[in-house]
Structure 1
């Protein structure tokens, strides 16, 4: 958690107005989050913070390259992201206010806001749900040996020697 200390912004010392913060996110950042879907990457984060009397508006812009595992051949490949998101941090005396989707409530005893978890969430939301490269099987990152083994082990309709008549009945339902 020591490597995430740089993502804490002490808001009590900030004057009202606009403030800019820049961060570089890499493998050590993702190592701090257990069970992270993203394991590595080289990303730049620009944070524009506008402090007002009762709230702060945080605008994030994150761009760079994630290293994700291909769902087909299991090798790592680079995936480009460029995303933006907004977060509102509201100052409140009462602790009974719950966090909304893009609103975080800061209590009177909070002196800083840790943006690392928000950066992590934005990156994970920008990561692809299905990890396939642009041209599966034809890029330098693809594991050709694994793809050949998959092709060898896959069963197509043309290669199947024994056909089960129950499947033909189901196929006729699909056509209707």
Structure 2
């Protein structure tokens, strides 16, 4: 986690107002997180930190490219991301008065910096689609054509062949009626 120190922002010396920060996210960043959906990529993070008396509002703009594994052909393919997120960090006067929520990160008064690496990691992983597929299966340079051909070869035949496979199921179909 030493390489994630560059994502720490010391906020105690900052005056109220908007402060801008830039971060780069590359392969070494994703290696710090053991079970990451994303294994490699090159992204840029523009962060506007709006400091107020008792809280900070963090506005993230994350953009660039990541590599994802196709769920069909299993090949890695490039995927472009460009999104904005917002996070609120509240400065807590009492130690352990509140816990973090999805929208608010609670910082103790004794803390002097906020590390945004985990937030960036979570935002990037939330940008990954639930089902990852090559844009044009079999017709792109990164798609594994051999895998597509093997899947087509092993696919079941027409629906009639499947229905005639086992006549014992006919008795169960009549129960619904």
Does the TM-score normalized on the shorter chain lie above 0.5? Answer: yes
Distance 1:90 1:27 in 2: 31
Structure 1: stretches of 5+ with no match in the other structure: none
Flag the 1:59–1:157 CA change in 2: closer, same or farther, 3 A: same
Matched, 1:136 2:145: no
Matched with 1:151 is: 152
Count matched residues.
175
Structure 2: stretches of 5+ with no match in the other structure: none
TM-score of the pair, normalised by structure 1: 0.91
Deviates more, 1:116-125 or 1:130-139: 130-139
Distance 1:168 1:61 in 2: 57
3-state SS of paired residue (1:119): helix
What is the CA RMSD across the aligned residues, in angstroms? 2.2
Matched, 1:56 2:20: no
Flag the 1:26–1:168 CA change in 2: closer, same or farther, 3 A: farther
Distance 1:52 1:100 in 2: 19
Residues 98-122 of structure 1 deviation map (CA, whole Å, 9 limit, x = unaligned)? 1121101110111100000000000
Residues 154-176 of structure 1 deviation map (CA, whole Å, 9 limit, x = unaligned)? 21226948622356778899xx9
Distance 1:45 1:170 in 2: 57
- Which residues of 2 match residues 1-176 of structure 1 at below 5 A? 1-94=1-94, 95-157=96-158, 160=161, 163-165=165-167
Flag the 1:158–1:105 CA change in 2: closer, same or farther, 3 A: closer
Residues 35-92 of structure 1 deviation map (CA, whole Å, 9 limit, x = unaligned)? 1111011111100000011100000011111100000111100011111110000111
TM-score of the pair, normalised by structure 2: 0.90
